[in-house]
Amino acid sequence: MTLISPATQHRTRIKMCGFTREADVLAACAAGADAIGFVLYPPSPRSVSVERAADLARLLPAFVTPVLLFVNETPARIEAACTAVPGALLQFHGDESADFCQDMSQRTGRPHLKAARIPLSKVHDFDLLEFAHIHQAAQALLLDAHVDGYGGGGKTFHWSLLPPNVNAHLVLSGGLTPANVGDGIRALRTHGLSLAVDVSSGIEAGKGLKDADKMRQFVQAVRTADNALSL
């Protein structure tokens, strides 16, 4: 497969994750989010029940996609969540195998994202090219920092040390904020088939409590980077 020229991608897609409140979902959509993530992992401070995720997802307008985040979940619970939240994408953020992820996509009829947990200090110890090959059925790979537990913990990894020729659509995550997301886009824009971004803690007033101003600032920072790179 031939990599897409960076000149052909003028709009970086934005996923915002970890929503728990109606007002925050509406503010994210108004700001320009393309996807809204709901954490279905009980140990997370941003976790919501399947029923709560379904209620929040009903607020999404057309062309804003719900994403359900799972960590080492059972097939039965994944299928139940998909029934409750029509049209949601699946995000696997734990130790799920490629076969498991692909099987769940086939059983639910939903595309999936797979998180690649990148070491903070030893990026070269993680073979992203091999990971992309193993998880080639994923719609995209979500690049997050590897910290204790699951999720990036608001940490960034060394973007510049990733391989420049990843045969996959990429979603940059982990410690993104309005102040640094432009740098992340500039660093990784040409590294894969396309680049999207994913933010959670960087748009919060507290864990699971989003800040409308920060969400608007984040979207503006992404658009500023897009405009600069399209010149």
Active-site residue, selected from the candidate residues 17, 29, 82, 101: 17
Residue among 69, 98, 231, 106 nearest 168 (CA): 98
Q: Which of 126, 156, 155, 140 is nearest to 192 (CA)?
A: 140
Tokens encoding 78: 């994944």
Residue listed under structure tokens 């994210």: 28
Residues in the chain: 231
Q: Is 17 a catalytic residue?
A: yes
Among residues 29, 34, 101, 144, the one annotated as catalytic is 144
Question: Among this protein's residues, is 55 annotated catalytic?
Answer: no
What single-letter amino acid sits at 209?
L
User: Exposed/middle/buried for 83, CB within 10 Å: 0-12, 13-18, 19+?
Assistant: exposed
- Known catalytic residues are 17, 144
